[in-house]
Amino acid sequence: MLVSPAGAAGDPRPQLRPELIDVDDFAGLLGVSTRHVRRLADAGKCPPPVRLGKCCRWSRRTVEAWIADGCPNCRKRPGVTR
């Protein structure tokens, strides 16, 4: 995934976007707080994170597809509410 054809300060190498994003990046894509993203994840209302030890990351492609689909509920078991 390329961000721009050239890097900063005329560097000819392309800038790559990370495949996994953290809670700050996810919140930025949605325009909400990081706390709200964590609440969505805990409630199963957004794509589940990839857990790396204690770190949570989300697949950029999955999140972008979820947003493009209108942010549908991602709970695996229908009919279960909190």
Per-residue pLDDT of the chain (82 residues; tens, 9 = 90+): 555 555 556 667 777 778 999 999 999 999 999 999 999 999 999 999 999 899 999 999 999 999 999 999 988 666 555 5
State pTM to two decimals: 0.72
12-31 CB burial, b ≥16 within 10 A, e <16: eeeeeeeebbbbebbbeebe
